[in-house]
Amino acid sequence: MSISRRDVLKTGITIGVLGGVSGILLKAAAEAAGAKAEAPAANIASIPSICGMCMAQCAIYIDVVNGKPVRIRPNTNAPTSAMGICARGVSGIFTAWLNPDAIKKPMARRALVDWVEGKISWEEAKRQLMQSRGGYDDMVEVDWKTAIEIIAKKLKELADNNERHAMTFLFGAWGPTASMRAGVPIARFADAYGCGQITFDNPYCTYPRYLGHWLTWGHGHQAHTVCVDYKEAEAILVVRRNVIGSGVVTETWRFMEAVKKGAKLVVLSPVFDETASYATVWLPVKPGTDLAVLLAFIKYVLDNGYYVEHYLRTFTNAPFLIKENGLPLLASEVAWDKYNMAEPTGFAYVVWDLATNAPAPDAAAKTAALFGQFEVQLKDGTAARVKTALTILKEWVDANLAALAKKHGVEDFFEAVAREADVNIDDLKKAAEIVAKYRAVAPIGWHDPRYSNSPQTWRAVGILLALLGRIQQPGGLFLLTHLIMPYADIYTKVLKYTRKDVPYKTIRGMTFSEYTSANLPAIYVIPLAPPLPGPSDRGARPRPP
């Protein structure tokens, strides 16, 4: 057996390196063992807390070692985090504590620092600020004293020049708790200073949707006060949302459980996002044309009898008789003696009872007509020409879609909507059939694009859900704040004010307190999301310090 010189050198070098490394490792191990023996035991604790990265507010534990957070894990005993928490929540230690890019000191634009230090005038500072708008290269770290001095100097200047009104508080806060927490001290300061106005992000974020819901349901809820019964849902209509990719974690879980069980999914989105990737039908609508698609769905439901008659008669104003001036006909206006009926003693709207072929108080009718035009004799000797609210809705939808068809030079409303939204007509028809046949529920999101027709878009969503009987019903949308909103009346009839009513004070002729006292026993409380199966550490308790 012969060994070359090169092999001898290679072998020797390898043995030498291994020997040196092993010696170093042994020495390090020995030193570590000695240090471990001398070091005191680590102080480890788990602190219960709540994640604030989205509206889910998941319950969490923060594992702390020697006073420093090292891990965030779910509290699997809580409904919101029973299955775990999302990647965003888990990464909170890095993003909020260890991230080298995290801003940990006040930041100010260089022009403001130079201004407060007397190096430049306010006019020059404004000029530089205009130039730097949209950028961040001129942002510099300052201490808290400098940051406060910049604000205080400008406030004093406004006060000295009698321009206190020019100061506006704009703060970001979602949810009533955060709004009240921030709003109270801000309001007190504003009162003391005598400034102009206080506002926050909702007018620029969610109010188009709120307004649409207020006008339709009499209830302007926020996203986190809405619960979709995904367990019973057979179809889901997603409008302007990416439930999977950017929704609240707990809702995403329930949403995906419904999808995995076979719920049909129709998605209206210009973007092929995560939610669209699971869609039964994805309609890549041109931005701002959602309303046209929703009107097509409403017309399809009305034309083909997919609306839920009992629900419309019981829980909506669909059968109410509406006068030519747009106001509902009240029982107090009708000449009941002309119909051999006693006048109702209490407040009531009027419907047309098919059983007697005559008007009747809404709560007394056996079978209220949903469609039709009628004449009703009034106390003043005149006859009111009235239509049911549902008839007016159908006329309005038909007229708008007819105008859209004329715009595109076609006769079929589906073809007109397909051209307007730039979608495939066969997909549009398939989506309408799914929404109508399976009575789709539409999850309500948070943010909303500010198109000019955004409030009407959300009105259309609300009307569609009402037609399909998907509000406050199994497989539908539950509004969880109906008892604390003075304009909530979803359980009986959508409120229509008379000229004598005080807005937001009268519900079916009663004050809010009277309504709540009279109807509380019949109003069931919607439970929060039930606990979901948790991971293997379900039931783990916090470790003591």
pLDDT for 28 equals 46
Q: DSSP class of residue 204?
A: G
Predicted confidence band of residue 42 (pLDDT cuts 50, 70, 90): confident
- Residue 390 to residue 384: CA distance in whole angstroms: 18
Structure tokens at 295: 């009107």
- Choose the weakest-confidence range: 178-187, 311-320, 441-450, 467-476: 178-187
pLDDT for 316 equals 86
Asked whether the predicted pLDDT for residue 218 surpasses 90, the reply is no
Cα-flanking dihedrals φ and ψ of residue 46, to 5°? -115, 120
Torsion sign (Cα): 492, 493, 499, 505: positive
pLDDT for 330 equals 92
pLDDT for 221 equals 53
- Express each pLDDT in 348-382 by its tens digit: 899 999 999 999 998 899 999 999 999 999 999 99
Asked whether the predicted pLDDT for residue 129 surpasses 60, the reply is yes
Predicted confidence band of residue 17 (pLDDT cuts 50, 70, 90): very low
When the pLDDT of each residue in the chain is averaged and rounded to a whole number, the result is: 78
Predicted confidence band of residue 52 (pLDDT cuts 50, 70, 90): confident
289 contacts: CB under 8 Å, gap ≥ 6: 420, 421, 422
pLDDT for 51 equals 84
- Express each pLDDT in 58-114 by its tens digit: 888 999 988 888 899 888 877 667 677 887 888 888 877 788 878 888 999 999 999
Residue bearing the bigger pLDDT, 328 or 170: 328
Structure tokens at 175: 């949810």
pLDDT for 34 equals 54
Q: DSSP class of residue 218?
A: S
- Express each pLDDT in 423-440 by its tens digit: 999 999 999 999 999 999
Asked whether the predicted pLDDT for residue 525 surpasses 90, the reply is no
Asked whether the predicted pLDDT for residue 537 surpasses 70, the reply is no
On whether the CB atoms of residues 66 and 42 are closer than 8 A, the answer is yes
Q: Per residue in 59-79, is it b (16+ CB within 10 Å) or e — as a string?
A: bbbbbbeeeebeebbbbbebe
Predicted confidence band of residue 189 (pLDDT cuts 50, 70, 90): confident
**Across 26-55, average pLDDT:** 67
Torsion of CA 333, 336, 337, 339, to 10 degrees: 140
- Residue 112 to residue 103: CA distance in whole angstroms: 18
Asked whether the predicted pLDDT for residue 496 surpasses 60, the reply is no
Does the pTM surpass 0.75? The reply is no
Helix axes 207-217, 454-467, angle to 10 degrees: 40
- Choose the weakest-confidence range: 65-74, 148-157, 416-425, 476-485: 476-485
Cα-flanking dihedrals φ and ψ of residue 495, to 5°? -70, 130
Asked whether the predicted pLDDT for residue 529 surpasses 90, the reply is no
Q: One-letter amino acid identity for 292?
A: A
pLDDT for 91 equals 85
pLDDT for 368 equals 95
Q: Per residue in 351-365, is it b (16+ CB within 10 Å) or e — as a string?
A: bbbbeeebbbbbeeb
- Express each pLDDT in 174-186 by its tens digit: 544 444 455 667 7
pLDDT for 513 equals 54
**Across 523-543, average pLDDT:** 35
Residue bearing the bigger pLDDT, 248 or 422: 422
Residue bearing the bigger pLDDT, 411 or 210: 411
